[in-house]
Amino acid sequence: MRILVTGARGQLGRACLEVLIAAGFDTVGVDLPDSDLTQQGVADRVLARHRPDRVIHAAAYTAVDRAETERDRALAVNATATALVAAACRDHGCALTYISTDYVFAGDCAEGYLEDAPTDPLNWYGVTKARGEAAVRQAGGSWQIVRTSWLFGHGPANFVRTVYRRLRRCEALNVVADQRGCPTYTLDLAELLKELAAAEGVGIFHGTNSGVCSWYELAQAVAAAGGCDVELIRPCATADYPTAARRPAYSVLRDSRLATLGLAPRPAWRDAVARYVGWLQANEERSEHD
């Protein structure tokens, strides 16, 4: 199986290349500036050149707050480009895996969200990702939508990395304690995407590490894993930390479909945090400039 990964320089794209190549898949990655998938015809040319059996569409606009003012750009990347990629996959007979987000939900369901729950995003980023999902479904063909949340991993800045670095500098942190979700390590998600590709699953799946926590509890786990002073972390309310984009309070993604394909639950989020912080500790000098 040949797999093409879009957004190959991003956090998840890097993890996908690492995991898929290690597993022996014929894998190629594309990203800006060479492959601007928002432009008409680019997705078709990329697929014609590389002839993949599956595309993992990890390319995305993920600046949640900036999306509130950069609405056209966010929509172009997350919805228009996705529609073009989905159509190209259909026309080339290529399977598609689209990476989506917990932010397609409002976060007001106390039980969390199963795969078939109706979407109702609170912010523009969530709107654009929901429209990307709709484009994938409308295009037809063989598709997977894999929703994930609270990503951290090797590459660009993320919450876990930022907290760890600030704690190393003995900086005090106020961290939101009334938003809950499912942290996800990019390497663990990439492993799941590999398994889903091999199983040729079709439909919507939820892929996160196991367990639920608040951002405050996640920060505490980072401190514990890194041997940092947990007393530097103080809980605060969402109302005390205003942002341009509204965040869902309880965007927990519940999984009911992976087991039907024979796939095991993902590792616990605390274990994932410990592994990633261990990687940061082992690669401190490199990660400071990555």
What is the domain-level CATH number for residue 123? Answer: 3.40.50.720
Question: Strand (E) positions, the chain?
Answer: 2-6, 26-30, 54-57, 95-101, 143-148, 151-152, 173-176, 180-181, 184-185, 203-206, 213-214, 233-236
Q: In angstroms, rounded to a whole number, what is the distance separating the alpha carbons of residues 41 and 38?
A: 9
Distance separating alpha carbons of residues 220 and 33, to the nearest angstrom: 38
Instruction: Give me the catalytic one of 61, 113, 125, 216.
Output: 125
* 224 within domain boundaries: no
In a domain, 232, yes or no: no
Domain count, the chain: 1
Please say whether the beta carbons of 65 and 247 come within 8 A: no
Q: Which domain holds residue 201?
A: 2-158+183-211+247-267
Please give the full DSSP string across 167-178, using - where no structure is assigned. Answer: HHTT--EEEE-S
* Placement of tokens 């697929």 in the chain: 47
Please report whether residue 167 resides in a domain.
no
Reading the block at residue 24, the tokens are: 């022996």
Residue 227 lies in a domain: no
Q: What pTM does this model have? A: 0.95
Q: What is the pLDDT of residue 201?
A: 87
268's CB contacts (< 8 A; 6+ apart) are 209, 210, 211
* Whether residue 98 lies in the annotated active site: no
Helix (H, G, I), strand (E, B) or coil at 204: strand
pLDDT at site 171: 96
Separation of alpha carbons 272 and 193, rounded Å: 16
- Spell out the per-residue pLDDT of the chain, length 290, in tens: 999 999 999 999 999 999 999 999 999 999 988 889 999 999 999 999 999 999 999 999 999 999 999 999 999 999 999 999 999 999 999 999 999 999 999 999 999 999 999 999 999 999 999 999 999 999 999 999 999 999 999 987 899 999 999 999 999 999 999 999 999 999 999 999 999 999 988 999 999 999 999 999 999 999 999 999 999 999 999 999 899 999 999 999 999 999 999 998 899 999 999 999 999 999 875 655 55
Residue 119 included in any domain = yes
Phi first, then psi: what are they for 126, rounded to 5°?
Answer: -60, -40
| β-bridge partners, 177 | none
Residue 131 lies in a domain: yes
Asked whether residue 235 is domain-assigned, the answer is no
Q: Residue 75 domain-assigned?
A: yes
* Other beta carbons less than 10 A from residue 246's beta carbon: 18
